[in-house]
Amino acid sequence: ELKVEQNPLFLSMQEGKNYTIYCNYSTTSDRLYWYRQDPGKSLESLFVLLSNGAVKQEGRLMASLDTKARLSTLHITAAVHDLSATYFCAVGMDSSYKLIFGSGTRLLVRP
C-alpha cells in the first residue's frame, strides 16, 4: 500500500527566509505532484515531476524528485506573505492518474 508522508505539518516562517518541505513515499512511483490549496478553495497545480532528478522552478518555489530515495522536496526561497497556504504533495499510483496525497503542510509566512 502506497503511503505518502509529508513534513513538517505546520510551518511558520518569517518573510525573506528559506525553507524546505519534504515528501517521502513508500513504493515505487515516477509521478509526483505538488499542489497549493488556499482556505476554502480547491487545488492549484504547482509542479508535475515525472522523472528521477527532475527539478522545476516557478518564482520562489522549486521542486525536485529523487525516485531512488522516494523523496521530493519543495524549496521556498525568500518567502513572502502571499505564499501562505497549505501545500500538498501527491504520488501517482500505477499507470492511472489516481493520486495518494500527503498530509499537507500548512505554511504561514509572517511579516
Site residues (CB under 8 A) for other proteins?
31, 33, 35, 40-43, 45, 48, 50, 88, 90, 92, 96-104, 106
Cβ-based nearer residue to other proteins, 95 or 111: 95
The answer for residues whose C-beta is within 8 angstroms of residue 87's C-beta and 6 or more apart is 21, 34, 35, 36, 37, 46, 74, 104, 105, 107
Shortest approach of other proteins to residue 42 CB, angstroms? 4
| CA–CA separation, 86 and 41 (whole Å) | 11
User: What Å distances lie between residue 55 and 63, 74, 75, 108, CA to CA?
Assistant: 6, 10, 11, 24
Cβ-based nearer residue to other proteins, 61 or 99: 99
Shortest approach of other proteins to residue 77 CB, angstroms? 25
Cβ-based nearer residue to other proteins, 79 or 90: 90
Shortest approach of other proteins to residue 22 CB, angstroms? 15
Cβ-based nearer residue to other proteins, 43 or 62: 43
- For 15, the grid coordinates are 518573510
Torsion angles phi and psi, residue 100, rounded to 5: -110, 125
